[in-house]
A = this chain, B = another copy of it.
């Protein structure tokens, strides 16, 4: 009963089967194999972007870091929300790869508005040679607080970035969950809305460890390859990465798993009404929620074997009726029974 992260669950059997099937005899290394070419084409098809540069890596952190490093110069600022994975959870990987520094923007529910972005860019430009220069903008969808940028919101942010000649990157560690939530296609959420580069996540959504870095302008492709190699991220036995991505794209498995995870979260949100003293901290769009629950409820859940992260204190440091914030994440493999058991433990 682990709700700590979507990376705690098992790999989907169809992904596993694809990895096994790839283990057939010999193949040339470093991506010069047929499976990798098929994986690139599968991603291009998915995004309706036949010319896109597509490369694979094994972690979301480096997908973001490489994408931003190809867009930012070392003296740039990277505009992101204060609550962003690139800022909080990558130990400075984007700074390390790009040389650039993050410029933090505030906004409710881990989202920023075009107006807030505009203000940050203007302030940045005012410093001339003395400050960081305006660089790429990056947003996350599903955000780090479980909310979603709508297509209109993405378009508006892209328009602001473009007006200043800045590129827009989308951290899609939970890209599939956002698509499922919005009911839109990958193309609609990216290049059709003005996104230039995307980290298309597979790891959190049922893969073993694979992410695609996608640039809709293929001119970035060679730099991406070289930066990946220089970061030690070019896999020699590349087919074991690529085969995951092929299976992930096939028959919309990526979307099927996201719908499953989102549905379990919807079940949990609906069931919260049964838990006295519980309420959501942010609107929930996908498979991730921040919830305030009384300490006594947490204690019951932990006793029942539930695992998840709490914030701002511990169960022990307050009375049982005092609220304590937690993060709950559902992955593709969570069952309706799992969610019910958590709700029951909370409800007491």
Residues of A within 8 A of B (CB): 2, 4-5, 7-11, 16, 19-20, 23-30, 57-63, 65-66, 73-75, 88-93, 95-97, 99-102, 104, 127, 129-133, 203-204, 208-209, 223, 225-227, 229-237, 240, 307
Contact = CB atoms under 8 A, between A and B. Distances in A.
A62 B232 contact: yes
9 contacts: A2-B26, A8-B28, A73-B226, A89-B130, A91-B129, A96-B230, A129-B234, A209-B235, A232-B233
Contacts of A101: 92, 95, 101-102
A235 to B, nearest CB: 6
A332 to B, nearest CB: 12
A307 B28 contact: yes
Given A24-B10, A26-B2, A204 B236 contact: yes
Given A26-B2, A28-B2, A226-B133, A61 B8 contact: no
Contacts of A65: 232
A75 B92 contact: yes
A240 B28 contact: no
B89 A131 contact: yes
Contacts of A58: 58, 235
A57 B130 CA distance: 16
Given A237-B208, A240-B208, A231 B96 contact: yes
Given A7-B237, A20-B20, 16 more contacts: A7-B236, A62-B232, A66-B232, A73-B226, A74-B230, A88-B131, A89-B131, A90-B232, A91-B131, A92-B99, A93-B232, A96-B231, A97-B232, A104-B104, A129-B229, A209-B236
A71 B157 CA distance: 33
A217 B189 CA distance: 40
Given A8-B27, A20-B16, A99-B96, A132 B91 contact: yes
Contacts of A204: 236
Nearest to A3: B26
Contacts of A16: 20, 23
Interface centre among A10, A75, A307 (most CB of B within 10 A): A75
Given A2-B26, A226-B75, A11 B237 contact: yes
A129 B225 contact: yes
B23 A230 contact: no
A226 B74 CA distance: 10
